[in-house]
C-alpha cells in the first residue's frame, strides 16, 4: 500500500483553487426555464471554486484563487466579496474585453434545475498563468481541484501545472470530482485520471466514487483509491450526512444536521472547504466531519450560492442550537 499522506499543514502555505468565478441570477418562481419574462433575484457571487475558497477563508485558513473576471460590476462584486472574507485575490485577472461569467437558474417543481450558462466564453474562460498566478502557486501549500473547472478548455493543463509545483514543495491535493459518466474515457476523462493519480483527499458525492474508481461496490471502490495513494475519501451524502474512509483511521460515519432546505447550491463546496481547512489546521477527523456537515447544512438554509458560507463561531452556534433542538 502507498504511504499515507494526509494533508499539508496550513503553515506550508495557503489553500488555492483554480477555476470559474460567476454571478448567479435566480428565478423567484418555480417552473420551467426562461422562455418568458419573469422576476429574478441576484446577482449573487458564485462559481464552485469561488464558493469553496470563500469558505476556506471564513474559517481562517490561508486562501487564494486563480481566475479571471470582467471589468464590470459582476466581476467587482465577486472580488470585493472574496477580499472582504479574507481570500487572496491577487491572482484574479480583471479583463477589460470579456464579461464576467454568469449562470441563470430556475428550479422546477421536482427540485431539478434549468440553467442558462455563460462560462467558457466569459472572462473565466480566459484564465491563464499570469505572473500573479505563478507567484500565488509558488507559495501555496495545498491545491483544491474543482471538477467543474474542467468544463473550461485549457483549465486542466493549468491545474495540473499548479499541482506539480505545489506537490514538489511538499504540498497536497484535494479533488471534488463533479464527474459525469459521459466524461470518462474522453480527453477530459484522462485529465481527471491524472488528477486522481495525485490526489490525497477525494470528496465525491452520488456515483462519483464509482466513476472515479471504476468499481461498483463502495468497499472495493475505496480500496482501489487507497491503492492509488489517496489517503482519505470523504463521501458526501446530502441529508444523510457523510462518511470518511481513511487509510489511517478506517471508516467514520457522521450524521447530517436536520434543516429546512431552501437552496442546495454550494453545500458540497462548503462541506469540502470546511473538512479540508480544519484538517489542515490540525483538527481530528471526527470533529472536522461534524463541522463540515454543519457547514453543508447551514448553506442549504440560505438562498444564494455563497450566502451560506460560515465562520467557525457561526458553525459553533449552529451546532449548539441543533443540540438544544434534539
- Per CB under 5 A, residues contacting Mg ion are 205, 268
DSSP line for 212-250: HHS-SSHHHHHHHHHHTT--EEEEE-GGG-EEEEETTTE
* Position 300 contacts ligand ATP (CB under 6 A): yes
Q: Is 285 in the site for ligand ATP (CB under 6 A)?
A: no
Q: Which residue has the cell 485575490?
A: 89
Characterize the bridge pairing of strands 232-236 and 201-202: parallel
- Give the residue with the Cβ less far from Mg ion, 62 or 268: 268
Is 252 a binding residue for ligand ATP by CB under 6 A? The answer is no
Question: Which one of residues 106, 236, 279, 280 is an interface residue with ligand ATP (CB under 6 A)?
Answer: 236
Q: Are 74 and 23 in contact (CB under 8 A)?
A: yes
Of 140 and 267, the one with the shorter C-beta distance to ligand ATP is 267
Burial of 313 (0-12, 13-18, 19+ CB in 10 A): exposed
Residue matched to cell numbers 462560462 = 119
Please compute, for residue 251, the number of CA atoms within 13 A of its CA located in the half-sphere on the CB side.
Answer: 8
Candidate residues 83, 169, 239, 302; the one interacting with ligand ATP per rule CB under 6 A = 239
**Residue 293 in contact with ligand ATP, rule: CB under 6 A:** yes
Q: Least separation, in Å, of the C-beta of 51 and Mg ion?
A: 11
User: Which of 296, 306, 309, 315 lies at the binding interface for ligand ATP (CB under 6 A)?
Assistant: 296
On whether the CB atoms of residues 6 and 86 are closer than 8 A, the answer is no
Shortest separation between residue 28's beta carbon and ligand ATP, angstroms: 20
Select the binding partner of residue 237 from Mg ion, ligand ATP, none (C-beta < 5 to 8 A, by kind): ligand ATP
**Taking the CA of residue 85 as centre, how many other CA atoms within 13 Å lie in the half-sphere pointing to its CB?**
29
Q: Cβ of residue 257: shortest distance to ligand ATP, in angstroms? A: 5
Segment interacting with ligand ATP, rule: CB under 6 A, options 57-65, 135-143, 256-264, 312-320: 256-264
Q: Which burial class, exposed, middle or buried, applies to 1 when counting CB atoms under 10 A from its CB (0-12, 13-18, 19+)?
A: exposed
C-alpha cell at 294: 454543519
**Binder among 33, 99, 229, 238 for ligand ATP (CB under 6 A):** 238
210 binds ligand ATP (CB under 6 A): no
Query: Is 297 one of the binding residues for ligand ATP (CB under 6 A)?
Result: yes
C-alpha cell at 26: 435566480
Give which of 230, 241, 247 is closest to 268, Cα–Cα. Answer: 241
Nearest in space to 20 (alpha carbons), one of 122, 99, 109: 122
Q: Which residue is nearest to Mg ion (CB)?
A: 268
Among 44, 52, 245, 257, binds ligand ATP (CB under 6 A): 257
Q: Is 268 in the site for ligand ATP (CB under 6 A)?
A: yes
Contact, 52 vs 17, CB < 8 A?
A: yes
The answer to whether residue 261 forms part of the interface with ligand ATP (CB under 6 A) is yes
- How many residues at the interface with ligand ATP, by CB under 6 A? 21
- Given candidates 150, 245, 271, 291, which one binds ligand ATP under the rule CB under 6 A? 271
Q: Which residues bind ligand ATP (CB under 6 A)?
A: 205, 236-239, 241-242, 256-257, 259, 261, 264, 266-269, 271, 293, 296-297, 300
Amino acid at each position: 500500500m502507498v504511504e499515507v499522506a494526509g494533508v499539508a499543514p496550513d503553515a506550508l502555505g495557503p489553500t488555492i483553487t483554480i477555476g470559474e468565478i460567476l454571478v448567479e441570477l435566480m428565478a423567484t418562481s418555480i417552473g420551467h426555464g426562461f422562455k418568458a419574462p419573469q422576476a429574478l433575484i441576484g446577482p449573487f457571487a458564485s462559481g464552485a471554486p469561488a464558493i469553496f475558497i470563500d469558505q476556506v477563508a471564513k474559517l481562517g485558513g490561508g486562501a487564494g484563487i486563480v481566475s479571471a473576471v470582467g471589468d464590470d460590476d459582476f466581476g467587482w462584486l465577486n472580488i470585493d466579496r472574496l477580499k472582504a472574507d479574507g481570500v487572496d485575490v491577487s491572482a484574479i485577472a480583471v479583463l477589460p474585453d470579456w464579461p464576467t461569467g454568469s449562470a441563470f437558474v430556475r428550479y422546477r417543481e421536482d427540485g431539478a434545475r434549468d440553467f442558462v450558462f455563460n462560462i467558457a466564453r466569459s472572462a473565466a474562460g480566459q484564465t491563464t498563468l499570469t505572473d500573479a498566478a505563478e507567484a500565488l502557486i509558488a507559495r501555496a501549500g495545498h491545491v483544491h481541484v474543482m471538477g467543474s473547472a474542467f468544463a473550461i478548455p485549457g483549465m486542466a493543463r493549468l491545474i495540473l501545472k499548479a499541482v506539480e509545483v505545489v506537490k514538489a514543495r511538499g504540498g497536497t491535493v484535494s479533488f471534488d470530482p463533479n464527474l459525469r459518466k459521459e466524461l470518462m474515457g474522453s480527453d477530459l476523462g484522462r485529465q481527471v485520471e491524472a488528477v486522481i493519480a495525485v490526489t490525497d483527499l477525494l470528496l465525491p458525492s452520488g456515483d462519483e466514487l464509482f466513476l472515479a474508481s471504476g468499481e461498483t461496490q463502495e468497499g472495493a471502490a475505496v480500496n482501489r483509491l487507497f491503492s492509488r495513494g489517496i489517503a482519505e475519501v470523504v463521501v458526501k451524502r446530502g441529508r444523510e450526512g457523510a462518511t470518511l474512509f481513511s487509510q489511517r483511521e478506517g471508516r467514520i460515519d457522521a450524521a447530517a444536521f436536520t434543516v429546512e432546505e431552501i437552496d442546495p447550491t454550494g453545500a458540497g463546496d462548503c462541506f469540502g472547504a470546511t473538512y479540508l481547512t480544519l484538517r489542515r489546521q490540525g483538527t481530528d477527523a471526527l470533529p472536522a466531519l461534524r463541522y463540515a456537515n454543519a457547514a453543508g447544512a447551514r448553506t442549504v438554509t440560505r438562498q444564494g450560492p455563497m450566502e451560506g458560507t460560515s465562520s467557525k463561531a457561526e458553525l459553533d452556534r449552529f451546532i449548539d442550537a441543533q443540540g438544544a433542538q434534539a
